[in-house]
A = this chain, B = another copy of it.
Amino acid sequence: MPGQLKWRHRFQAHVSRWTVPREVILDLLSRTSKHMSVKEIYASLYKMYPGIGLTTVYRTLDLLVRAGFINRFPSGDGQNRYEFKSNKKKEHHHHLVCIKCRKIIDYSDFVDEELELVKKTEEILAKKHSFNVLGHNIEFYGLCEKCK
């Protein structure tokens, strides 16, 4: 499949070997729009690939984050969640986290204004604090429809 070959190619800039766990994990995340926890990812993979180890899931996710394939963000309940990073600009979004049921809603309104603000901020920060900005995290939290 072309997608996988493409991944493999991009991947090999970061690691030397193309392995089954790496492909399976990347594949799973690329097919869902959910914000999955490690537990969920592990459980999901276990059905298709019972041999997989939890350690490998952690390591691979870390790798994928570093390689820029996926995003990691804290979901507020002490664990991280992961999502496939789309390269389409339109799909840039942030999260709305319900502090009660932990439901996560993506939103992508005001992306342009936001991106502009972020860009502007990053430039100033780079100058003012000699800080090399690599990423940002914007989250709104509150109560969702059902929980309020």
Contact = CB atoms under 8 A, between A and B. Distances in A.
Interface stretch (A1-9, A55-63, A131-139): A131-139
Interface stretch (A23-31, A35-43, A45-53, A114-122): A114-122
A129 B105 CA distance: 8
A142 B105 CA distance: 26
A103 B117 CA distance: 23
Given A110-B121, A124-B110, A133 B129 contact: no
Nearest to A79: B78
Copies of this chain, tallied across the complex: 2
B145 A135 contact: no
A145 B125 contact: no
Interface residues of A, number: 35
Contact of A136 (B110, B131, B139): B139
Contacts of A136: 138-141
Contacts of A124: 109-110
Nearest to A75: B74
A143 interface: yes
Nearest to A118: B140
23 contacts: A99-B134, A105-B129, A109-B124, A110-B124, A117-B117, A121-B140, A129-B144, A129-B145, A130-B145, A131-B142, A131-B144, A132-B144, A133-B140, A133-B142, A134-B141, A134-B142, A134-B143, A136-B139, A136-B140, A137-B138, A137-B140, A137-B141, A138-B138
